[in-house]
Amino acid sequence: MKKKAIIIGAGFGGLSIGIRLLSEGFDVSIYEKQRFAGGHGQQFSKDNYTFDMGPTLITAPDIINKIFNKAGKKIEDYLELLPLDPFYRVFFHDNSSIDYSGDSEQMKTQMAKFDKNDAANYDKFIEKSKVIYDSVITDGLGAISFDKITTMLSLMPKAAKIGALDTCYSNAKKYFDDFRHRFIFSFHPLFIGGNPFRVPAIYSMISYLEKTGGIWYSKGGMKSLVNAFVQLFEELGGKIYYNSEVQKINIVKQKIDSVIVADEKIKADVVISNADINHTYTKLIDDEVSRKWSQEKLDRSKYSMSAFLLYLGVKKKYDKLLHHNIILSPRYRELIDDIFDNKVLADDFSLYVHVPSKTDSSMAPEGSESIYILSPCPNLSANIDWSKMGRIYANKIINYLEADFDLIGLRDNIEVEIMFTPEDFQKQRNSYLGTPWGLEPSLLQSAYFRPHNRAERIKGLFLVGAGTHPGAGLPGVMLSAEATEKSVLEYISK
Ligand SMILES: Cc1cc2nc3c(=O)[nH]c(=O)nc-3n(C[C@H](O)[C@H](O)[C@H](O)COP(=O)(O)OP(=O)(O)OC[C@H]3O[C@@H](n4cnc5c(N)ncnc54)[C@H](O)[C@@H]3O)c2cc1C
């Protein structure tokens, strides 16, 4: 008899663990609350404009490929990945910009215009991020579950020795004096909901990961990557039930029994939750069940920021923009403090702007751009009424881009305008406090201190995705599936 695995949620984490367990001979079903797979990686189209709603940057194709290889397949049989170079254009408040790329010489030439010593230090910085990368990725620490404190403690001396316990910003500051370079070599944690002034320099390895692995685009946008995962999952015999929210995880004597979907009880040997951690532990499990992640413990934890998103279909081209762009406020640390700690919606903002129509003509009508604008903002623990503030904030961003950033005629050329606020993350995807990134990835909320891949105290319950180890971002959630698979196999073999 095949062992029966039920997965809650068809995000990249759920699909990845599904493919892995099918490859190990499990009978696997995914129950997904929404009409689509992909979780945050969804897409929508309106009036011939197409928008990815969440993730846009594909990094670490070798980590994606590992999932396909597990099933004896290759990623290139399922989708076409196109390399992007430069990776992104970063615009600073003083009208200077840097085209960030993986090419050392191009980077050094640009950096030398601002600070020659900084340019000379570029190789040393990359060498340091390689050392960290080797310790985390090459040594496989992202793909094991940190169930024991001893595993974490045994790694601390090495982490301290290689400087992985500094913060990302203090690490960048050691190598660079110019504010631009300090930004471009420290901001990466924001991609995974982390505060660059707080998260450990372990995440500085992203600079090396991007440099060697590249930044990629999949034709048709992120949906094509989701479709590739769904296709492989279904080819292996997995079933996805859409519009099927899991209402409850039944636990009998601290062991998994079943899940409830549409009032029906479905038995399982193992349950793996890809849903938000807070939702899983506080909404799906009865209060009487003993669990480490109680309501009180979860309430005491620190949660990542959220994001305000604006999707614009614009019947005009803007040469100033590349496929990926970052437009910065003069304030770096102060703005981050406002978002993470002061929890106020500041008057200024920094924006990430995604324009896939630069690479893929299918994303917008001819002569037009599909533009996605992301502004990092406080999560729902802040006192912001997005039903009122959303419109005001969207107008502010459009005004800024037109008047101060010189996207001339932007407002008059908008054909599609849709916004997505922190409240939508909560309502549509059960993201606690409207943060899609879960617990903030600080040192004390990482690895052993993050909710474990194998749920503590409940036999047969596992977690996968952004909320567990190693954390958010597509590479992170795909590695989490590898860690969770190991834990499931170990549990089943006992
Ligand atoms: C705006 C934005 C931009 C991002 N940009 C990037 C990027 O460029 N590159 C990158 O690598 N990462 C990026 N990320 C991060 C990345 O998208 C996420 O970390 C990753 O997609 C999370 O995947 P997951 O599998 O953990 O969960 P999710 O995507 O959250 O999927 C969980 C699924 O569970 C479902 N669910 C929840 N509760 C239930 C229930 N009770 N029953 C059934 N189903 C349920 C949800 O509907 C959802 O489909 C971005 C994220 C966001 C939001």
Give every CB contact of residue 432 below 8 A, 6+ residues apart in sequence. 276, 277, 278, 279, 298, 303, 426, 438
**Residue located via tokens 């990926």:** 324
Within 10 angstroms of residue 314's Cβ, the number of other Cβ atoms is 24
Give every CB contact of residue 332 below 8 A, 6+ residues apart in sequence. 179, 182, 183
**Residue located via tokens 């068809």:** 10
Residue 43 beta carbon below 6 angstroms from any ligand 1 atom: no
Residue 305 beta carbon below 6 angstroms from any ligand 1 atom: no
Q: Vertex 117, ends 115 and 120: CA angle to 5°? A: 115
Specify the pLDDT at position 138: 78
Specify the pLDDT at position 142: 86
**Minimum-distance ligand 1 atom for the alpha carbon of 480:** 26
β-strand partners of 116: none
Q: Whose CA is nearest to atom 14 of ligand 1?
A: 55
Residue 245 beta carbon below 6 angstroms from any ligand 1 atom: yes
**Minimum-distance ligand 1 atom for the alpha carbon of 31:** 43
CA distance 276 to 248: 14
How would you write the pLDDT of the chain (494 residues) with one tens digit per residue? 899 999 999 999 999 999 999 999 999 999 999 999 999 999 999 999 999 999 999 999 999 999 999 999 999 999 999 999 999 999 999 999 999 999 999 999 999 999 999 999 999 999 999 999 998 887 788 888 888 898 888 888 888 888 888 999 999 999 999 999 999 999 999 999 999 999 999 999 999 999 999 999 999 999 999 999 999 999 999 999 999 999 999 999 999 999 999 999 999 999 999 999 999 999 999 988 888 998 899 999 999 999 999 999 999 999 999 999 999 999 999 999 999 999 999 999 999 999 999 999 999 999 999 999 999 999 999 999 999 999 999 999 999 999 999 999 999 999 999 999 999 999 998 899 999 999 999 989 999 999 999 999 999 999 999 999 999 999 999 999 999 999 999 999 98
Preceding peptide of 470 cis, ω within 30° = yes
Specify the pLDDT at position 135: 86
Residue 54 beta carbon below 6 angstroms from any ligand 1 atom: yes
The DSSP secondary structure of 233-295, one letter per residue, reads: HHHTT-EEESS--EEEEEEETTEEEEEEETTEEEE-SEEEE-S-HHHHHHHSS-TTS--SS-H
Specify the pLDDT at position 161: 87
The DSSP secondary structure of 426-470, one letter per residue, reads: HHHH--GGG-TT-B---GGGSGGGSPPSB-TT-BTEEE-STTSSS
Q: Which of 7, 274, 309 to mutate to test the pocket of ligand 1 (most atoms within 8 A of CB)?
A: 274
**Residue located via tokens 């958010």:** 472
Residue 8 beta carbon below 6 angstroms from any ligand 1 atom: yes
User: Quick check: 222 and 55 in contact, CB under 8 A?
Assistant: yes
- Tell me, in angstroms, the distance from the centre of ligand 1 to residue 239's CA: 19
- Tell me, in angstroms, the distance from the centre of ligand 1 to residue 125's CA: 31
Buried b (16+ CB within 10 A) or exposed e, 103-139: eeeebbebbeebbeebbebbeebbebbbbbbebbbee
Domain ranges of the chain: 4-42+58-71+221-301+440-493, 108-211
Quick one: 4-42+58-71+221-301+440-493 is in which CATH superfamily? FAD/NAD(P)-binding domain (3.50.50.60)
β-strand partners of 8: 31, 273
CA distance 21 to 340: 37
- Tell me, in angstroms, the distance from the centre of ligand 1 to residue 30's CA: 15
User: Quick check: 96 and 179 in contact, CB under 8 A?
Assistant: no
Residue 275 beta carbon below 6 angstroms from any ligand 1 atom: yes
Name the strand (E) or helix (H) holding 98: strand 97-100
What amino acid occupies position 266? I
Q: Which of 276, 331, 302, 306 is nearest to 386 (CA)?
A: 306
Residue 215 beta carbon below 6 angstroms from any ligand 1 atom: no
Q: Which of 40, 222, 229 to mutate to test the pocket of ligand 1 (most atoms within 8 A of CB)?
A: 40
CA distance 239 to 31: 9
Q: Whose CA is nearest to atom 29 of ligand 1?
A: 39
- Tell me, in angstroms, the distance from the centre of ligand 1 to residue 12's CA: 7
Beta strands 81-84 and 43-46: pairing type? unpaired
Tokens representing 481 are 């599936």
CA distance 208 to 332: 23
**Minimum-distance ligand 1 atom for the alpha carbon of 474:** 11
CA distance 28 to 462: 14
Q: Whose CA is nearest to atom 2 of ligand 1?
A: 54
- Tell me, in angstroms, the distance from the centre of ligand 1 to residue 469's CA: 15
DSSP state of 381: T
Report residue 408 CA to chain centroid gap: 32
**Minimum-distance ligand 1 atom for the alpha carbon of 192:** 15
Residue 429 beta carbon below 6 angstroms from any ligand 1 atom: yes
Specify the pLDDT at position 327: 98
CA distance 235 to 71: 10
Residue 308 beta carbon below 6 angstroms from any ligand 1 atom: no
Give every CB contact of residue 122 below 8 A, 6+ residues apart in sequence. 104, 107, 108, 111, 175
CA distance 122 to 446: 28
Name the strand (E) or helix (H) holding 488: helix 474-493
